[in-house]
Amino acid sequence: MPVRPDEERIALFLDYENLAIGARDHLSAAFDVKPVADALAERGRVVVRKAYADWTSFKEDGRSLAHHHIELIEIPQRMGAVRKNAADIKLAVDAIELCFERDYISTFVIGTGDSDFTPLVLKLRELNKLVIGLGVGPSTSNLLPPACDEFLFYEQLQGVDLPVTRRRRGRAAVAAAPDPDEDRRPESTRQPRDPAALDLLIVQTLSGMERSAAGPVLASTLKRAILRKDPTFQEAEYGFRGFLELIRNLEKRSIVRLGQGVSAGDPEVQLPDNVRGEDDAFALLRDVVNELSQERHKRPVVLSGLKNTLRKKEPQFSEKQFGYGGFLQFCQAARARGFVSLDWDDNAEDYVLRPAEAA
């Protein structure tokens, strides 16, 4: 079968000691490369596979990696000396060398949780390469994921089988029969994702793209923009199997509107004419402007400080949850919908608002 010219070519580099020890210490499991290989196969052709370690310490792991056609790069620890950075330097040199020798390779996957690789990631991106990070969540530095175009947490990959542990309460539980409800997977240090934060992320990103894009926003384009904002974004953390399932759920809840795209799997995504709750926010603005206007004997209300007044009535108010870049833009939208009037006042040197009926 001929190679497709539009297919991603991927180079995989594994700081294997970091991954194996992270999986052992934090997940109580051996690192399994098969879920990694499967995840990358969904993204393109993996044409280079290298893993770096002192393989005398990982003999069984080496056999598994060889089964998946991963080249084992030996970094021996001679005479009992600890050469912590030997594998790091070798991996970085090989990656940069490959970047210049094989210009058809478009994506580099760096498997590690070590922040020492951040300069390598940034340099590869500077050289116009897509960089995907891979690490064990609890042992991954907070500095590394934001530097990548996308970051995959090993324990969240499909096919990773973590051991079940048992939790017993009190001395009596030692002799008690095991309770099925006590079975649990090893706990992650990552905080659970907030579904409300997902809605906000989608609306804000889509709104910004609609303002700057010359044409319709496709689902695939929207996901790439979200990954640029949050490289650790994964639909599975919100309970969805894929991005298409996620945005269809958002459509059902009137967060977005879908249209015909270039293909059935890549629809156009738009904000609806009225984002859920938007009219209530406009009505809040109208009511506050009415109250302030009455208190000031029908004098216009200036824009400065108005947002703080709204928050006194509704502490959770934010124009950004409706996709607006700022409070002025929100007020302009309220004017367009007929809730208030909004004009520039030279004397006040500010925008002034009036109740709509007084416009």
State yes or no: pLDDT of 105 exceeds 80: yes
Question: The whole model's pTM is what?
Answer: 0.64
Yes or no: say if 313 and 284 are a contact pair by the CB < 8 Å rule: yes
Nearest to 289 by CA among 337, 355, 336: 355
**Range in 202-216, 228-242, 280-294 the model is least confident about:** 202-216
Structure confidence at residue 1 (pLDDT): 46
Position 275 scores a pLDDT of 64
Q: Is 76 helix (H, G, I), strand (E, B) or coil?
A: coil
Per DSSP, the three-state class of 103 is: coil
**pLDDT at res. 187:** 43
Mean of the pLDDT values across residues 284-302? 85
Tokens, residue 93: 């040199």
d(CA 46, CA 37): 8
Cβ–Cβ < 8 Å for 10, 70: no
Q: What is the pLDDT of residue 180?
A: 42
- The pLDDT of residue 322 is 75
Report which of residues 212 and 92 the model is more confident about: 92
Q: Give the C-alpha separation, 290 to 142, whole Å.
A: 47
C-alpha to C-alpha distance for 302 and 298, rounded to whole angstroms: 12
Residue 300's Cβ-side half-sphere holds a number of Cα atoms within 13 Å equal to: 21
The CB-side HSE value for 127 (13 A sphere, CA atoms) comes to 22
Q: What is the pLDDT of residues 295-354, one digit of tens each?
A: 877 778 888 889 888 888 888 888 877 767 678 888 888 888 788 888 888 888 888 888
For the chain, percent of residues with pLDDT exceeding 90: 27
